[in-house]
Amino acid sequence: MPYFWLAILGWLTYFILKRSVPPLSGRQLWLLWLVMMSPSLLWMGWTLTNPNQPIPPALVFGSFMVCSFLYLLMLRNWRGTLPTQAKEGQEANQPGPGQASNAAKAAAAIAASDRPKPKPPLNGEEENQLRQCFGWNTFVLNKIEYRLQAVVCQGQLRAEADKVYGTIKQNVESRFGDRFLVLLQEDFQGKPFFALVPNPQISPKLRKLVNPTYRYGLASFLLLLTLLTTTLIGTGLAGTPVESIESILQAPRLLLQGLPYAIPLLLILGFHESGHFFAARHYKLKTTLPYFIPVPGLLGTFGAFVQIRSPMPNRKTLFDVGIAGPLAGLVVALPLLIWGVSHSQIVPLQEQTSFLNFAALNPRISILMTLLGRMLLGSELTTTSAVALHPVAIAGYLGILVTALNLMPIGQLDGGHMVHAMFGQRGGAIIGQVTRVLVICLALLQRDLLIWAFMLLLIPAMDEPALNDVSELDDRRDGIGLAALAMLLLIILPVPPALANLLL
């Protein structure tokens, strides 16, 4: 099993690197992959050779720091050798919202850019029309600069950011149509500026990618296939594993024993992604249907996903779309977990425990599980006992673990979108870096979190900016975000011994 997880992690690492780094040669990409995989290879090597000893902190932090330094050094050196055409192609030819977000990220660093000025995308008459889009009561325009794939308008805000953005955007569209996307960003000194970047939806080919038709057939097929794989896993969790197709054909009623696990799990995942889907549709963002990922083994699925094809218009929309998934998933997961734990059995505590030891789960592995166990199982649950989870409880428990992973405040995870909307792009990036370090420290106590810690290292800490990335959230949304982060801590933090003695 460790080798299987290592193979999955290696594939995910290569996939993320291929999509996130500049166009490199095959040898360069594989060298970056090897550097990124080195910590996990070292950690697994120690675990296999020293199964009864924890990984030394020096090995954990040392491998992480050295490999991170090598990764950044190699990437910086190789970026300087890229052809100019390849660099421009990476920034200009990404389809759909990827191009808009890449242009937005480039615009965030425009004020400090030292690149040579390219040929202006606007002629003299068009530049005069652009100047007329700004006014003394909205945005006092100081100067217009031309950067690669962007027209930068520097000045001073004279009203609330959201009102100014709406007015300027309407003025630009009235003069230039859909030729540009209008961005309101902040430079490294915190000064707001407008940027006009080419609209990727102008191209008919790219417009087709940004405006996909719903593929109901594919979504239905993946849902049915995931239902089958999770049902097969559920029969094993119920005590009657399916060993071959012939056994299913001879006794198809065996599959019924896997439904108490499969259906709740799919409901949780479906509600989570539907939350993103309907929130995106509420703000008229273009998105795909929820697609499930079937896996013939392990838990029966790797979850589900929704692709949003439109750039986020502002931080309010970013927050609402990001938080909608975890909230919708918790609405289903928590009642199912409560019902399942109340129908679970208390068993003796084993020496070896983990997050996925469903036959004898140590409730003290999570503050939330300890509270639920004490509330639902009463005084029978002691410091020397564990819980054999009911299949419905397993589904609910996996649902809250998936929610916790998505609530990690890093990069493009739901939690990353949330803290970006709450604290700004740079504030969210700082929180993401701190979270990485804290998860690594927590992994020293919970070895199951090592895989989480390494996965979080692969996710860029800075989230993609919204078009209007200056307007702040209201107090109500800030409160909801803080409550979501508190739920994350309840799920992943183990119970301190002093608190365990009081509760159990």
Task: Verify that 266 and 198 share a domain, yes or no.
Answer: no
The last residue of a domain, from among 82, 115, 130: 82
Task: Verify that 258 and 381 share a domain, yes or no.
Answer: no
Rounded alpha-carbon distances, angstroms, from residue 330 to 110, 176, 416: 40, 45, 18
Average pLDDT over residues 257-265: 90
pLDDT tens-digit series, residues 101-124: 444 444 444 444 444 455 667 788
Task: Verify that 7 and 21 share a domain, yes or no.
Answer: yes
The last residue of a domain, from among 303, 337, 369: 303
Average pLDDT over residues 40-59: 71
Spatial distance between the Cα atoms of 385 and 360, rounded to a whole number of angstroms? 8
Work out the mean pLDDT of the chain and round it to a whole number.
79
pLDDT tens-digit series, residues 469-502: 988 899 999 999 999 999 999 998 888 877 767 7
Percent of all residues in the chain with a pLDDT value above 90, rounded to a whole number? 26
207 pLDDT higher than 60: no
Task: Verify that 152 and 217 share a domain, yes or no.
Answer: no
Task: Verify that 50 and 130 share a domain, yes or no.
Answer: no
Spatial distance between the Cα atoms of 271 and 38, rounded to a whole number of angstroms? 37
Task: Verify that 323 and 447 share a domain, yes or no.
Answer: yes
DSSP state string for 429-463 = HHHHHHHHHHHHHHHTT-GGGHHHHHHHHHS-SSP
DSSP state string for 170-215 = HHHHHHHTTSEEEEEEE-TTS-EEEEEEE-GGGSHHHHHHHSPPP-
Write out the residue range of the structural domain in which residue 35 sits. 2-82
pLDDT of residue 368: 92
Give the closest residue to 310 by CA, choosing from 301, 300, 321, 299: 321
Out of 26-35, 162-171, 240-249, 455-464, which region has the weakest mean confidence (pLDDT)? 240-249
CA angle at 430 for the pair 427 and 432, rounded to the nearest 5°: 110
Rounded alpha-carbon distances, angstroms, from residue 201 to 31, 102, 147: 35, 14, 21
Task: Verify that 488 and 353 share a domain, yes or no.
Answer: yes
Helix (H, G, I), strand (E, B) or coil at 467: coil
91 pLDDT higher than 50: no
pLDDT of residue 213: 62
The last residue of a domain, from among 209, 233, 249: 209
Contact (CB, 8 A) for 321 and 279 = yes
The number of folded domains in the chain is 4
Question: Strand order in 180-186's β-sheet?
Answer: 139-147, 150-157, 192-198, 180-186
Average pLDDT over residues 206-224: 73
70 pLDDT higher than 90: no
Asked, for residue 89, whether it belongs to a domain, the answer is no
Strands 139-147 and 150-157 turn out to be: antiparallel
